[in-house]
Structure 1
Amino acid sequence: MNATPELSSRTFGNEDALPRVPLPSLDATADRFLEWCAPLLTPDERAETEAALAAFVRPDGPGRALHAALERYERSEGVHSWLDTFWPYRYLGRRDRIALNANFFFLFKDTGEGQVERAAGLVAAALDYKLRLDAEAVAPAVQRGRPLSMAQNRYLFSTTRIPGDEQDTVRAPYTDAWPGPSEARHIMVFFRGTMIRMDVLGPDGRPHTLDELAGGLRAAMKTDPAIEPSAGHLTTKARAEWAASRRALLAADPANARALDDVETALFCLCLEDFSPRDELEACDHLLHGDSANRWFDKAVSFVVFGDGRAGINVEHCGLDGTTILSFVDDLLGSPAGDHSVRSGAVAQGLPAFAPIEFALDDALRADIRDAGDAFAAYAAATATAAVSFDDFGSTRAKELRVSPDAFVQMAYQLAHRRAKGLTGATYESIATRQYRNGRTEAMRVVTPEVVRFVETMDDPGADDAARAAAFRAAAEAHVRRAKECQAGDAPEQHLWELQLIQKRRGAELGITEPLALFESPGWVRMRDDYLSTSSAPSVNIQYFGFGSTSEQCIGVAYVLLPDRFNVYLSTPQAVAGAMRVFADELRRAVRELQDLLATAS
């Protein structure tokens, strides 16, 4: 028997030993795709999809050539995963706005501290983490004895997404252009639309003390308001439009290149709000979008601290997934700020140096910025949200009922959606795959034949409680099986999507230039047209997790499921807000009803 290899304690020490993401065979993916999309299709739609799929995977079909190209790429020198090219296209290739549409947020648990003290504590904790990361002293994440990829941690500090005409790029350390950890010593502070550069590390790289950080923030907040409108508004634009605005900024005055450099190399953003939210929902909404004068949405990490000391984080998604940010946040919030400050080697060295960042604008740029701000405010206003909180249900209760906690809540979503909208629609769930080299997530599609039978049985007047409970358990078990398949890399969507992207990038070279019917088929379109887009973030240090919806009829469902509580943040376009509110009510009903059903039928 082979001995289990000893795990490295260095942050990135296990990366090269991680297994590669499995590349499914084309036939396995084809079978699984048909299985996944079938519950959403009529017989005619299934027949059309089957014909398109058969043409794609026939022995001399385009799917074979595209898959062979992917296999060759996967074997190429320097390639860590067959998804190495997929992820940049998926995230950096999107051309709509990332603010609200792609960035996600966490609302932290409250500490009762005032705004400045809370902000200074977050800065001190983040600096402690950054210095430990630089020294590879952040313990690698481990799950069931297996190390997880820590590659995403390289994007936590001094990382900024740069807009492009056809695809964005990322400015980040640990790259050929910027080898090793970031040597930046400053952060970017936003207050009332004024951008302020603040040096939080001294000349020797040691952090300022907590008192000095707090004093520096108080002084910075007294900076005269900016005369010009905030360039932060521009980060809300569609990406090609923002790329054009960025070029105009650079052409307007050489000072703007220096200002952009300060923003883009800053360790992170700290956004200080001048108001206190009425409730948790308003706090969540402002973490999701907020006043874009007080944001730089392209920054990987932006801490947001409200006037009453409540706080959270807004994250740019291209290099960072929720699991990485959860570990980061748990580290920051798991110990008192004073402990972080001491561990970081903070030393008294006077108040941090700070200075406002000013862009030189002409009339066209001023108008561009104001228009961007107005357009985003209108876009945010056209988004409806809701918070649903359960203080009497959590993962402990689900386990008492002998069901997977995630399967329980996913079945509750399906039942609530069927009752709210009268249909069962495509549902996405993010499944983490960091056990693989450079692993990120897999796309799981929740609707199975068992789910369809479950929601139909629940409202079938001819079904008794035993039949309903049996249908629920069958659907929950199917959910668990599919989640395990996704964790093992046995999922069709991203595989087929990458084949579609290979044709887009290299179709002429491979002789595949004709439109592929598979990607116009009802199965492909329907499976990916989300009615529910779901993802979870379990941590005692956060109250809510959230993101925007992904389509005109979609409800974004971000949930924090803990042993003793279950909090859900919902988002959808205002045009269908009524259905979201009905869904919220039906979700409350479903969680109660399913608990009672399983308790009495067991």
Structure 2
Amino acid sequence: MNTTDEPSARTFGNEDALPRVPLPTLEDTCERFLAWSAPLLTPAELEETRAAVDELLADGGAGRVLHAALEEYDRSEGVHSWLDTFWPYRYLGRRDRIALNANFVFLFQDADLTQEERAAALITAAVDYKLRLDTESVPPVAQRGRPLSMEQNKYLFSATRIPGEKQDTVRVPYTDAWPGPSDARHIIVFHRANAFRMDVIGPDGVPHSPADLADGLRAVRAEGAARAAAGTAPGHLTTKARAEWAASRAALLALDPANAQALDTIETALFCVCLDDVTPKDDHEATDHLLHGDSGNRWFDKAVSLIVFADGSAGINIEHCGLDGTTVLSFVDDMMNTSTEDHARSSGARPQGTPAIEPVRFVLDDALRADVHAAAVAFADYAAATATETVAFDDFGANDAKKLGISPDAFVQMAYQLAHQRAKGRVGATYESIATRQYNRGRTEAMRVVTPEVLAFVRTQNDPAATADERRAALRAAAEAHVARAKDCQAGRAPEQHLWELQLIAERRGAELGVTEAPALYSSPGWRIMRDDYLSTSSAPSVNVKYFGFGSTSPQCIGVAYVLLPDRFNVYLSTPRTVADAMESFAGHLRAAVAELRDLLAGG
């Protein structure tokens, strides 16, 4: 911020003035951890967990040593947050596949356009946003008058995750290796598993007009009319577990210098556009295809992939390492809330003829073709082993919850808890993502939804002897506890990421710090059970989004991605197919629970 303490209007102008993510004391974190895990534990499990916490808190013990190291790191020059090393590990350190497991998607509202027109409109809007980002003229997002961190916007364009044997990296602008905004002028367009480089900005830095872009996309469709032969679309490799994909990438680079050029073209591209042949029969099928569609027609490592179906319906697939939902929603809203003509006018786009297009060709030998084919088959099987469902509420939304005197998010979270207990016979660990962008480099905090009040609410709601007044009181008490915990998370008062980072410090520096054994807390019932998700939930409120989707996080988990708007509420569910019956039961119970809780509150 400037000297008058007024927030800067420049996109990144407030970053250095934002408060740091607070580092809780070890005592506060341990107290909250016990309170958060207790509702999920038996008395014996809680006692074992409490003993592990006492050991962690002991004077001169491992917990004190690790926390002191974290405090020292937080004070170090150049460190923005005590989470600076946590986030790269959290996302780039995962070794499973990111396609379906980590990437997330939004299905956009429909537009009455052809495939080429819709794609051209989205490209026009995205390029306009990119150029405004370059000049820092995208207004900073504010919350209750306070600017939020815009740092994640640096990961929107020309950002690509690079697989590594032990940990991935990211190739991105605004770094020492690539100072300032991206100077790329091209995107990658996929059609029928063929990849093409297409210039969207002319040689003089002026964007192509929407009509030019539509002509370029038609040229791509014509040149890519024949589907790529089996085993020849390296996009399939981006679905592999990360170390395996790193080995495949190394083989590509070793085989022929042309492959380095092809990878460079893809990795530096502003973003991807995927022209799919599919015409989804409904929103459910469309969201499925966004999440795990034809992997030959994708590059899942690319930060942003705009996907346009044959009928002009469209959405976006996001690589998660540098981007959270709130940042992407702001980008999507900017694209959608302004007409294509106004975006073109804003960016200075003008007709320049059909954009230059060029096939992106890889040299493959028999071993790599077999590798590509095997990756395609494996991912298709993996996607087929995932069950999904949509639940739409056209007669209930956030405004209805507010009229009933309850927090909209608390209302739907209580509905999830009630539906899950009725579907699976138990209340299970539940994750909810809470945004913390009011802090310097802030991202999200991990909220655990199950409280003693939630247990009491579910028990009372299922008790045939309970009166309506008792049920209402239990629901409101659970909702108030939910809101209070969410506020704690927003304020950086949450235990999980703090304890997790201490665990990672022990793994990285244990020998140096004299912590030679993993603290007992990390094998305690509380740590294991609190983090073993039965429900993994996150919301994406935008009138421009029909559905939000992501995969589940564990064998028994139901992923719950929801769009809660003033007048409606849409949910996309995902789970391993082996437990699909439980998910379908959950969906049915959720429909009933929303109506039941609404009627309960309306009656009092």
Q: Is the 8 A contact 2:562 2:571 kept in 1?
A: yes
Following TM superposition, by how much is the alpha carbon of 1:552 offset from its aligned partner in structure 2, in angstroms?
A: 0.2
Give the direction of change, closer, same or farther, for the CA distance of 1:282–1:146 in structure 2 (3 Å limit). Answer: same
TM-score, L = length of structure 1? 0.99
Query: How far does residue 513 in structure 1 lie from its aligned partner after superposition?
Result: 1.7
Alignment of 1:535-554 (within 5 A): 535-554=538-557
Structure 1 residue aligned with 2:185:
185
Q: Is residue 253 of structure 2 the alignment partner of residue 250 of structure 1?
A: yes
Q: Following superposition of structure 1 onto structure 2, how do residues 215-364 of structure 1 map, counting pairs within 5 Å?
A: 215-224=215-224, 225=226, 226-227=228-229, 229-364=232-367
- Could you say which residue in structure 1 is the equivalent of 2:158? 158
Shift of residue 56, structure 1, vs aligned partner: 1.1
Structure 2 residue 74 is the aligned partner of structure 1 residue 74: yes
Q: 1:135 is matched with which residue? A: 135
Q: List aligned pairs for 1:507-546, cutoff 5 A.
A: 507-546=510-549
The amino acid of 2:162's aligned partner reads: I
Deviates more, 1:504-513 or 1:377-386: 504-513
Identity %: 71
3-state secondary structure, aligned to 1:509: helix
2:586 is the counterpart of 1:598: no
Given that 2:100 and 2:551 are in contact with CA atoms closer than 8 Å, whether structure 1 keeps it comes out as yes
Whole-Å separation in 1 of the counterparts to 2:488 and 2:126: 36
Matches of 1:17 and 1:95 in 2, distance apart?
Answer: 35
Deviation string 1:62-104 (CA, Å, 9 cap, x unpaired) is 0000000000000000000000000000000000000000000
Other-structure match for 2:36: 36
Q: How far 1:37 sits from its partner (Å)?
A: 0.1
Alpha-carbon separation, structure 2, partners of 1:592 and 1:347: 52
Corresponding letter in the other structure for 2:215: G
Matching of residue 563 in structure 1 with residue 566 in structure 2: yes
Shift, 1:328, TM fit: 0.2
Q: CA deviation at 1:584?
A: 0.2
Runs ≥4 residues deviating over 2 A: 224-228
Question: What is the CA distance between 1:388 and its match in structure 2?
Answer: 0.2
**Structure 1 residue aligned with 2:381:** 378
Measured after TM superposition, the shift of residue 278 of structure 1 is 0.6
Specify the alignment match of 2:119 in structure 1. Answer: 119
What letter corresponds to residue 88 of structure 2 in structure 1? P
Query: 426, 429, 432: which is aligned to 1:429?
Result: 432
Within 2, Cα distance between the matches of 1:461 and 1:277? Answer: 44
Match of 1:446 in 2: 449
Asked whether 1:491 is paired with 2:494, we answer yes
**Partner SS, residue 170 of structure 1:** strand
Matched letter for residue 216 of structure 2: G
Alignment partner, residue 83 of structure 1: 83
Aligned to 2:210: 210
Partner SS, residue 222 of structure 1: helix
SS in structure 1 at match of 2:208: coil
1:93 to 2:89 alignment: no
The Cα shift of 1:112 comes to 1.5
Counterparts of 2:505 and 2:403 in 1: how far apart (Å)? 47
Give the distance between the partners of 1:453 and 1:4, measured in 2 at CA.
50
Q: Distance in 2 between matches of 1:383 and 1:344?
A: 41
Structure 2 unaligned regions, length at least 5: none
Cα separation, 1, equivalents of 2:350 and 2:518: 63
Q: Aligned equivalents of 2:4 and 2:123: distance in 1?
A: 39
Compute the displacement of 1:412 (Å): 0.2
Q: CA deviation at 1:4?
A: 7.5
SS in 1 for 2:596: helix
Looking at structure 2, the residues matched to 331 and 481 of structure 1 have their Cα atoms a distance apart, in angstroms, of 32
CA distance in 1, matches of 2:549, 2:109: 14
The Cα offsets for residues 413-461 of structure 1, whole Å up to 9 and x where unpaired, read as 0000000000000000000000000000000000000000000110112
CA distance in 2, matches of 1:456, 1:262: 57
Using structure 2 for the length normalisation, give the TM-score: 0.99
Find the aligned partners of 1:116 and 1:211 in 2 and give their Cα distance.
9
How far does the alpha carbon of each residue in 1:205-226 deviate from its partner, in whole angstroms, 9 at most, with x for none? Answer: 1100111000010011111434
Q: Tell me which residue corresponds to 2:578.
A: 575
- Give the secondary-structure state (helix, strand or coil) at the position aligned to 1:107: strand
Deviations 1:32-87 (A, max 9, x none): 00000000000000011011111111111100000000000000000000000000
Residue 534 of structure 1: CA displacement? Answer: 0.2
Of 390-399 and 224-233, the range deviating more from structure 2: 224-233
Aligned to 1:53: 53
Distance 1:289 1:317 in 2: 15
For the residue of structure 2 that corresponds to 1:184, the secondary structure is coil
* Partner SS, residue 374 of structure 1: helix
Compute the displacement of 1:512 (Å). 0.6
Structure 1 residues without counterparts, runs of 5 or longer: none
In 1, Cα distance between equivalents of 2:493 and 2:39:
19
Q: Return the alpha-carbon distance in structure 2 between the equivalents of residues 128 and 75 of structure 1.
A: 39
SS at match of 1:431: strand
Distance 1:489 1:275 in 2: 44
Question: Letter of the aligned partner of 1:404 in structure 2?
Answer: S
SS in 2 for 1:158: coil
CA shift, 1:515, in A, is: 2.4
Contact 2:232 2:364 in 1 (8 A): no
Amino acid corresponding to residue 139 of structure 1 in structure 2: P
1:503 aligns with 2:506: yes
Distance in 1 separating the partners of 2:511 and 2:168: 23
Q: Name the structure 1 match of 2:407.
A: 404
| Equivalent position SS for 2:222 | coil
**SS at 1:480's partner residue?**
helix
Worse-superposed segment, 137-146 or 222-231: 222-231
Give the Cα–Cα distance (whole angstroms) in 2 for the partners of residues 349 and 223 of structure 1.
Answer: 20
CA distance in 2, matches of 1:441, 1:146: 17
**Take 2:543 and 2:5, find their aligned partners in 1: how far apart are those partners?**
32
> Once superposed, what is the RMSD of the aligned Cα atoms?
0.8
Task: Specify the alignment match of 2:168 in structure 1.
Answer: 168
